[in-house]
Amino acid sequence: MRLLALIMVAALAGCSAPPPPPVAAPVDQMMLNEARAGGLAFALDRPAEAVTHYRAALARARLRDDLPSITDAGTNLAVAELRANQPEQALADARATRGELARRGAADVPVLDLVEATALYRTGQTAAADQMASLVQRAGDPQAAARASFLRGLIADAHGDAAGLAAARQALDPQVDSEQAADATELESRQQLRLRNFAAARTYAEQAASLRRDLPDYRGLARDLALAAQAAQGQGDTQAASDLYLRAGRSAAVQGNNADARIWLQHAQSGDPAVAEQARQILAALAP
């Protein structure tokens, strides 16, 4: 009101003063601060800290009944929970955000669907994960569709579906970006492993691990090291397999991914005694 009054006074007085600067829309500074802090924590690979900040941002977004902010914070929260090895909570929060969108008649968000598909996969619900990922592929978001194709490739490989694995690999273009290159290379490794072309499978897996190191995608890196270990085993190179499993398990343990770490570190004990001892020490230090 005060700004409008000043404009009216200037007009009545015949002034030629410049127009006033635009007034910024009011914002919830606390919500913005929490969202920024969450993004910084995520970038610094502190996912548990990011979860705390994104949950606070989501609470403020709900307080102001701001659907775009609820969507952003809810999606970011679920992504951070996945990174923090909390797939059950990520699934619950992704579904809560999707439910909010549906109740308000808002358009679905492919990235949020991808988060739900990934959480379903991580919690062992592979059929539901595959179905959700197929929806993401058709949703019109190229980046989300590419990641959904990769996820479907992992599921197909786990189910022994060679045709599904090949289709997922063909859906990816390594020339698009480093993420698709890493995903395509990993699926290529899985195809070669299934064909018992162990040397090629190992080469592709190690290339994928290198690509993920630079992204950075450390969960994927550990998975690719374990894939290379499988290929080395197929070659009969027990020492190399043991070392690769140690490296995969060690990386997973640092990330708090204890389930995979235990499996890989147990495999690491079948080779060189020094490697086996390192694996036993890391296993002993893992939380129950």
Token match 């006033």: residue? 20
Question: Is residue 189 pLDDT above 50, yes or no?
Answer: yes
| CA-based R_g, the chain, Å | 24
Residue 271: what pLDDT?
Answer: 84
Residue 19: what pLDDT?
Answer: 52
Class of domain 31-107: mainly alpha
Q: Name the pLDDT band for 1 (thresholds 50, 70, 90).
A: very low
Q: Name the pLDDT band for 288 (thresholds 50, 70, 90).
A: confident
Residue 20: what pLDDT?
Answer: 53
Residue 7: what pLDDT?
Answer: 30
> What global pTM score does this model have?
0.88
Nearest C-alpha neighbor of 259 from the set 283, 275, 277: 283
CA distance 136 to 130: 10
Tell me what percent of the residues of the chain surpass a pLDDT of 90: 88
The answer to whether 41 and 49 are in contact (CB under 8 A) is yes
CA dihedral sign of residues 209, 214, 217, 222: positive
The residue among 12 and 207 whose pLDDT is bigger is: 207
Residue 13: what pLDDT?
Answer: 34
Domain ranges of the chain: 31-107, 109-171, 198-288
Q: pLDDT digit string (tens) for 246-287?
A: 999 999 999 999 999 999 999 999 888 999 999 999 999 997
Residue 27: what pLDDT?
Answer: 77
Residue 193: what pLDDT?
Answer: 98
Q: pLDDT digit string (tens) for 215-228?
A: 999 999 999 999 99
* Tokens (6 digits) for 47: 């996912």
Question: Is residue 2 pLDDT above 70, yes or no?
Answer: no
Farthest CA pair distance, the chain: 92
Mean pLDDT of the 195-204 span: 98
Question: Is residue 239 pLDDT above 80, yes or no?
Answer: yes
CA distance 150 to 71: 24
Residue 217: what pLDDT?
Answer: 95
Mean pLDDT of the 73-89 span: 97
